[in-house]
Structure 1
Amino acid sequence: MNIAIIGYGKMGKTIEEILIERGHTVSVKLNRKPEVDDLKNVDVAIEFSNPEVAFENIRTLIENKIPTISGTTGWLEHLHEIIELNQKKDCAFLYGSNFSLGVNLFFELNERLAKLMAKYPEYKIELEEIHHTQKLDAPSGTAISLARGIIENSDKTDWKLDESISDEIIPIKALRIENVPGMHTVSYISEVDTIEITHTAHTRKGFAFGAVLAAEWIHGKSGFFSMKDVLGLD
Structure 2
Amino acid sequence: MKIALLGYGKMGQTIEKIAESRGHEIVARVSSPENFTLENADIAIDFSIPDSAVNHITKCFEAGIPIVSGTTGWLDSYEDMVALCKEKNGGFIYASNFSVGVNLFFEFNKKLAQIMAPHNDYKVDMTEIHHTQKLDAPSGTAITLAEGIIETTPYTAWSLAEGQSIKDNHIPITAEREGTVPGTHIINYKSDIDTIILSHEAHSRQGFAQGAVVAAEWLLGKQGNFSMRDVLGL
TM-score (norm 2): 0.97
Task: Identify the residue that residue 9 of structure 1 maps to in structure 2.
Answer: 9
Task: Identify the residue that residue 115 of structure 1 maps to in structure 2.
Answer: 114
Amino acid in structure 2 at the alignment position of 1:119: P
Q: Determine the C-alpha separation between the residues in 2 that align with 1:92 and 1:223.
A: 5
Q: Determine the C-alpha separation between the residues in 1 that align with 2:138 and 2:11.
A: 19
Task: Identify the residue that residue 195 of structure 1 maps to in structure 2.
Answer: 196
Task: Identify the residue that residue 32 of structure 1 maps to in structure 2.
Answer: 32
Confirm whether residue 147 of structure 1 aligns to residue 162 of structure 2: no
The 3-state SS of whatever aligns with 1:39 is coil
Q: Determine the C-alpha separation between the residues in 2 that align with 1:179 and 1:35.
A: 30
Q: Determine the C-alpha separation between the residues in 1 that align with 2:32 and 2:218.
A: 26
**Which string of whole-angstrom CA distances, capped at 9 and with x for unpartnered residues, describes residues 90-113 of structure 1?**
010100000000000000000000
Task: Identify the residue that residue 46 of structure 1 maps to in structure 2.
Answer: 45
Q: Determine the C-alpha separation between the residues in 2 that align with 1:3 and 1:63.
A: 17
Corresponding pairs, count: 232
Q: Determine the C-alpha separation between the residues in 1 that align with 2:172 and 2:67.
A: 32
The 3-state SS of whatever aligns with 2:212 is helix
Confirm whether residue 166 of structure 1 aligns to residue 167 of structure 2: yes
Task: Identify the residue that residue 86 of structure 2 maps to in structure 1.
Answer: 87
Q: Determine the C-alpha separation between the residues in 2 that align with 1:167 and 1:110.
A: 20
RMSD: 1.1
Over 3 Å counting, the alpha-carbon distance change for 1:164 and 1:188 in structure 2 is farther
Q: Is the 8 A contact 1:34 1:60 kept in 2?
A: no
Over 3 Å counting, the alpha-carbon distance change for 1:91 and 1:34 in structure 2 is farther
Confirm whether residue 217 of structure 1 aligns to residue 224 of structure 2: no
Q: Report how far residue 147 of structure 1 moved.
A: 0.2
The 3-state SS of whatever aligns with 2:141 is helix
Q: Determine the C-alpha separation between the residues in 1 that align with 2:48 and 2:38.
A: 17
Task: Identify the residue that residue 74 of structure 2 maps to in structure 1.
Answer: 75
Task: Identify the residue that residue 206 of structure 1 maps to in structure 2.
Answer: 207
* Structure 1 residue runs of 4 or more that deviate by more than 3 Å after TM superposition: none
Q: Report how far residue 164 of structure 1 moved.
A: 5.2
Task: Identify the residue that residue 134 of structure 1 maps to in structure 2.
Answer: 133
Amino acid in structure 2 at the alignment position of 1:22: R
Amino acid in structure 1 at the alignment position of 2:90: C
Q: Determine the C-alpha separation between the residues in 2 that align with 1:216 and 1:155.
A: 38
TM-score (norm 1): 0.97
Amino acid in structure 1 at the alignment position of 2:210: F
Amino acid in structure 1 at the alignment position of 2:201: T
Q: Is the 8 A contact 1:50 1:72 kept in 2?
A: yes
* Gapped regions of structure 1 (runs ≥ 5): none
Q: Determine the C-alpha separation between the residues in 2 that align with 1:83 and 1:48.
A: 18
Q: Report how far residue 143 of structure 1 moved.
A: 0.2
Task: Identify the residue that residue 232 of structure 1 maps to in structure 2.
Answer: 233
Q: Is the 8 A contact 1:164 1:171 kept in 2?
A: no
Q: Determine the C-alpha separation between the residues in 2 that align with 1:7 and 1:141.
A: 17
Q: Is the 8 A contact 1:158 1:168 kept in 2?
A: yes
